[in-house]
Amino acid sequence: MIPFFDLKKQYISIQSQIDNATRRVYASGWFILGPETEAFENEFAQYIGAQHCIGVNSGTDALHLAIRALGIGAGDEIITVPNTAVATVSAIEMAGATPVLCDVRADSMTLDADSFASVITERTRAVIPVHLFGQAAELDAIIGIARQYKLAVIEDCAQAHGAKYQGQRVGTFGDVACFSFYPTKNLGAYGDAGAIVTNDARLADKVKLLRQYGWRARYESEISGVNTRLDELQAALLRVKLGHLDAWNAARRERATMYTELLPNKRVHPPIEMPYAEHVFHLYVAQSEVRDYLAAFLKEREIGTAIQYPTPIHLQPAYQHLAPEGSLPVSEKLAREILSLPLYPELALSDVRAVADAIREFES
């Protein structure tokens, strides 16, 4: 049996470091916004290559605060894609703004700059390119258009910790970038956690205020804010895991390369790594016109697969008002054809071969 993923293996591989960090926090008697959070924020900013990092409670909250800190809200439109975690769209709505969807490219599966340009209106204030599955969107083209129309660029890096665009880590290209540390992400906490990264000191200051009731000093709200803090325990665990991130991403890339070399690429097509990208393979997403048969075939052989995401946002009940069916054809086709294969740093190479062998059997 080869499960789609297995988080227990990772814990076992770093158990003593994790257990020590946990005990350190328990013994400190300090649980919210303290030295571990501050240290993690500094270490993560340095890792990404940005000036500021502010820890928050989730990736969704990171997006929500980034949008609010940019002064975007009611009456404003923000453009993003329909093949993303619904969080990207719900964060836009949490901030009171209106989501507008554009299509994605068939090769990278990320935001299509031409489609983005075609849905800009007088009310558009920002674009959220999602670096989906671990690969950067076409940032030069997107940022070029955004600058032309004076739109803010909010990078959704929730699936792309450590991924690079033209040799530079994502999270440093837009005005602000948002990360999730949901347990299954490339850098995952043992609960909910997220962060905002930016080089803009004023924006960072505003996010910090928004994160805790608008307080600069305790019990005095300078602006109206919310409560979305990163806790000390998650920060301490994330510090441990950050030290392993590059090695884990390299292990993901090694396994992805193996899949791509071993798959016959007849009816099952491997994902494409764009020339500009260093992909970190949060997910290894193949495409096949006979996807449902393939998934059933692999399930019979006890190989776990998943579909991220089975229904584009505008075809889900809550969001059908955003765009009519048929209007975002690339995203809609992808939803019918994508299949994520098992991929995580601890996945045995023999299991990669076994999955590839099963797909070759399917192809023959």
**Site pattern 137..176 for ligand PLP (x: CB under 6 A):** -------------------x-xx-----------------
Beta bridge partners of 153: 127
77/156 with CB nearer ligand PLP:
156
Span near ligand PLP by CB under 6 A; candidates 55-63, 73-81, 105-113, 233-241: 55-63
**CA–CA separation, 343 vs 352, rounded Å?**
8
Q: Does 270 bind ligand PLP (CB under 6 A)?
A: no
51/90 with CB nearer ligand PLP:
90
Of all residues in the shown chain, the one whose CB is closest to ligand PLP is 59
> With CB under 6 A, what is the number of residues at the site for ligand PLP?
15
**CA–CA separation, 89 vs 175, rounded Å?**
19
**Minimum CB distance to ligand PLP, residue 282 (Å):** 8
**Minimum CB distance to ligand PLP, residue 218 (Å):** 27
**CA–CA separation, 160 vs 100, rounded Å?**
23
Closest CA to 303 of 364, 258, 360, 253: 360
**Minimum CB distance to ligand PLP, residue 264 (Å):** 30
- Altogether, the residues listed in the chain come to a count of 364
Beta bridge partners of 77: 98, 124
Name residues contacting ligand PLP, limited to 74-93 (CB under 6 A).
Answer: 84-85, 87-88
Strand, helix or coil at 289? coil
Closest CA to 41 of 30, 25, 52, 57: 52
- Spatial neighbors of 124 by CB under 8 A, at least 6 apart, are 76, 77, 78, 79, 100, 149, 151
DSSP string, 177-193: EEEE--TTSSS--SS--
The C-alpha angle 26, 242, 20, rounded to 5 degrees, equals 30
**Minimum CB distance to ligand PLP, residue 192 (Å):** 6
87/268 with CB nearer ligand PLP:
87
**Minimum CB distance to ligand PLP, residue 110 (Å):** 11
Closest CA to 107 of 302, 242, 349, 275: 275
Q: Does 59 bind ligand PLP (CB under 6 A)?
A: yes
Span near ligand PLP by CB under 6 A; candidates 30-38, 53-61, 333-341, 344-352: 53-61
**Minimum CB distance to ligand PLP, residue 187 (Å):** 11
Name residues contacting ligand PLP, limited to 178-207 (CB under 6 A).
Answer: 180, 182, 192, 194
Site for ligand PLP, rule CB under 6 A: 58-60, 84-85, 87-88, 130, 156, 158-159, 180, 182, 192, 194
